[in-house]
Amino acid sequence: MAESIPNFFKPVINVLINGIDYSLVTAEFTVYSDLRGKADTCRITLEDHEGTRGEAIAKGDSLALKWGYEGGILTEIFRGVVLDSNHDDPLEIRGIDYNTILNATRILQTYQDDNVGGLMKALLKGVGLGLDIEECDVVVDRIPFFNRTIRECVDSLTAIANRETGDEHFDYIRAGVFHWGKKDLEQVPVAVFTTGVNIIDFQLNEDGLSELLTMISPVQHSQIIEIDGEDYFVEKIEYIWDNGGRTRMGVQKIC
């Protein structure tokens, strides 16, 4: 019996809002994700000829979007909540990832005699996210947080870690997990792109981020890809669906 392989001519969109599947009426979407950004965002346009779908969607509803090909494993490219919608036809919905939790929760507490990793775990305990926090031995003698959001507290601890270690640390939320640490440049490339095969356009920039445009490619930032035999780290990514799918990546060559 032949193995089941993805049909790369049939892209699949899966949109769930508050547990309801809106995939069949999704006309357009854009998802933007940046390793250095504060939150992932999305904009989804749904058909709503009868003017009833807008009534069923409210601010704060859960919002998830997966993308891929028929027969293959779909990749979740966005998970968060509805930020607002225009309640019109077409129905345009804006979403933001679960950084909303970090921005909505305030801390009034003083922490002391713990390392940055331990303080991160203490801050994020109970927010409903899984934690993937890299070990960091920088010890903070005392740090008071007076009516500051968890997002602001995390940024303060990251700044301390960067200053004391000389390394850059980043955080992002993906698939319900809060990740914090340095770039992982040792991972295996998750996708291979070749000129004349699966690259629409590649603008090489030796001094900054290069830009790669491909067909639907559910790659995510903080992953490594191979372009014409060279490895690149994905810094930012934009997924676009409008009468066809595109993925635009900002990438940095790994020396």
Same domain for 84 and 12, yes or no, is yes
Asked whether residue 1 is domain-assigned, the answer is: no
Distance from C-alpha of 30 to C-alpha of 81, rounded to nearest angstrom: 15
Asked whether residue 91 is domain-assigned, the answer is: yes
Predicted local distance difference test score (pLDDT) of residue 8: 57
With a CB cutoff of 8 Å and minimum separation 6, the contacts of 247 are 213, 214, 215, 216, 217, 218, 219, 237, 238, 239, 240
Tokens linked to 255: 């020396």
Of the candidates 160, 181, 202, which is a domain's last residue? 181
Question: pTM for the full model?
Answer: 0.89
> How many domains, in total, are found in the chain?
3
Same domain for 159 and 107, yes or no, is yes
Please list the ranges in the chain whose pLDDT falls under 50.
1-5
How big is the chain by its Cα radius of gyration, in Å?
20
Asked whether residue 16 is domain-assigned, the answer is: yes
CB atoms under 10 Å from CB of 116, counted, come to 25
Task: Print the domain residue range for 215.
Answer: 191-253
CATH classification at residue 51? 2.30.300.10
Predicted local distance difference test score (pLDDT) of residue 94: 96
